A and B are shown apart, each in its own frame.
Chain A
Amino acid sequence: GDSVTQMEGPVTLSEEAFLTINCTYTATGYPSLFWYVQYPGEGLQLLLKATKADDKGSNKGFEATYRKETTSFHLEKGSVQVSDSAVYFCALSETGGTSYGKLTFGQGTILTVHP
């Protein structure tokens, strides 16, 4: 079955540091890939997504590139802020079959940014 693996957390950075959160996936078809973010006390919200190989999703200074050859979708940001402190989830959605439209999530990575 489908699965998503994220780097172990928590991740603690100083403000303006570079961020990478690794994500790799296993899927039977050609999934779409997502990063969701959960701020403290809130539900998840979509951060960015990519629907096919070599696509780059970007939003709020975050970027991730769909790498089919390495089955990866790593999240990066060049300069993090305290307000980026949250839990980040990598997820995939299959494009067909019985898994159509359903999300499979990674375990989440807690990010804490200090001033």
Chain B
Amino acid sequence: DADVTQTPRNRITKTGKRIMLECSQTKGHDRMYWYRQDPGLGLRLIYYSFDVKDINKGEISDGYSVSRQAQAKFSLSLESAIPNQTALYFCATSDLPSGLAASTDTQYFGPGTRLTVL
């Protein structure tokens, strides 16, 4: 079974609808992230959570919200979807870095959710 799973894998919705994307992980990692991928723009960070009680905005959080229900679950919501939120969304996890080499923690990505807002 995959370590990081995302549901749904594909979703088509209409402008103004509320939608939730879910992410679950079995890696036991404390840190979880939501990114969106747009052609030619790479991946941009939407929200991240370093533990269940620590949630932070990324560079493009407007129009999105998140919920960290448990260590293993991190959901992304679009309260009122708009067409420019059409993108590929990825969840990722990482472990706490150890020692002084603080940022060597690898991020592990889910398979992505392709969202289309009409």
A: residues with CB less than 8 A from B are 4, 31-32, 34, 36, 41-46, 49, 51, 89, 93-96, 100-103, 105-108
Task: Decide: B101 and A51 in contact? CB cutoff 8 A.
Answer: yes
How many residues on the B side are at the interface (Cβ–Cβ under 8 A)?
28
Task: Decide: A106 and B110 in contact? CB cutoff 8 A.
Answer: no
B: residues with CB less than 8 A from A are 4, 31, 33, 40-45, 48, 50, 58, 90, 92, 94, 97, 101-112
* A45-B109, A102-B48 given; A107·B103 CB < 8 A: no
User: In the bound complex, how far is the Cα of B103 from the Cα of A96, in angstroms?
Assistant: 8
Task: Decide: A100 and B103 in contact? CB cutoff 8 A.
Answer: yes
* A43-B112, A89-B43, A108-B42 given; A103·B104 CB < 8 A: no
Task: Decide: A107 and B42 in contact? CB cutoff 8 A.
Answer: yes
